[in-house]
Amino acid sequence: MRAAVIVFPGSNRERDIGRALKTASGVEPAYVWHTETELPRGTDLVVLPGGFSYGDYLRTGAIAARSPVMDAVRAHAARGGYALGVCNGFQIACEAGLLPGVLARNAGLKFICRFHHLRVERAGTAFTSEYQRHQAIKVCSAHGEGNYIADSDTLAALEGEGRVAFRYCDETGAVGGAANINGSMDDIAGIYSENLRVLGMMPHPENLIDPLVGGTDGLALFSSIAGAKAAA
């Protein structure tokens, strides 16, 4: 699998994503600076990593979403290419129109930085083939703006078309109440594009790939997408 990790001024999780991709697929990704106008030839997967692109100025992800490289990323997605946005990358994907909705300030106003759980809403996508439906996986969040908001038509479409990828849950997989860490509508932690090939999610699966630092529940996401491409 050929992956390209886009690097913006203020990105800071690109090496962690790279390590997760290398661990899962054996292949080091390309790192692509935001001023590039083309992706490396043969790119299968584009990753928008976490961080604080442009210092979160204006709105999180807003300025990065208008970077030169994003036209190439949109063209890649329009061709049916795979893309993954994590944390600030999810915010950028929404601002760039790759995914619907907005990530607003956490309902509790605090920056959230801790382990928590997600329920896998849909197994068998390119990103979740190695998970079970409704499996609770341990992940980590580190964000101040993760409160997912969309209008009622968009929410109905996401729910009706099975495009909610992950919901916040407790360690038993129960959704709702205090398990929703940031106030997101419908407990949404991650969503897919219509063709299920673009995934945006607030928590960091790349934090959970090594038993030394909390667990390995995130690794299956990267091995799923590596396997999806190998099979295609």
Partner 1 sequence: MKARVTVTLKNGVLDPQGKAIEGALKSLGIEGVASVRQGKVFDIELAGGDRAAAETALNAACEKLLANTVIENYRVEIA
Place of tokens 């990358």: 89
Strand order through the sheet with 198-201: 30-33, 3-7, 45-48, 82-86, 198-201, 188-192, 164-169, 112-120, 136-143
Region from 17-25, 61-69, 126-134, 206-214 binding partner 1, contact rule CB under 8 A:
61-69
Region from 18-26, 62-70, 193-201, 224-232 binding partner 1, contact rule CB under 8 A:
62-70
User: Which of residues 62 and 123 has its CB atom nearest to partner 1 in the complex?
Assistant: 62
Residue 221 φ/ψ, nearest 5 degrees: -65, -40
Q: Within 155-184, which residues bind partner 1 (CB under 8 A)? A: 183
Binding of partner 1 by 62 (CB under 8 A): yes
**Kind and range of the H or E element at 210?**
none
Asked if residue 88 lies in contact with residue 61, where contact means CB atoms within 8 angstroms, the answer is yes
Catalytic residue among 34, 76, 117, 204: 204
Q: Report the C-alpha gap between 139 and 136 in whole angstroms.
A: 10
Asked if residue 112 lies in contact with residue 188, where contact means CB atoms within 8 angstroms, the answer is no
Binding of partner 1 by 206 (CB under 8 A): no
Using alpha carbons, select from 228, 122, 114 the residue that is nearest to residue 166: 122
Question: Least Å distance between CB 99 and partner 1?
Answer: 11
User: Which of residues 183 and 227 has its CB atom nearest to partner 1 in the complex?
Assistant: 183
User: Which of residues 102 and 142 has its CB atom nearest to partner 1 in the complex?
Assistant: 102
Catalytic residue among 14, 76, 87, 94: 87
Q: Within 72-101, which residues bind partner 1 (CB under 8 A)? A: 95, 100-101
134 is catalytic: no
Q: Within 100-159, which residues bind partner 1 (CB under 8 A)? A: 100-102, 104-109, 147, 149-151
87 is catalytic: yes
Residues forming beta bridges with residue 210, ordered by sequence position: 215
Query: Which residues are annotated as catalytic?
Result: 87, 204, 206
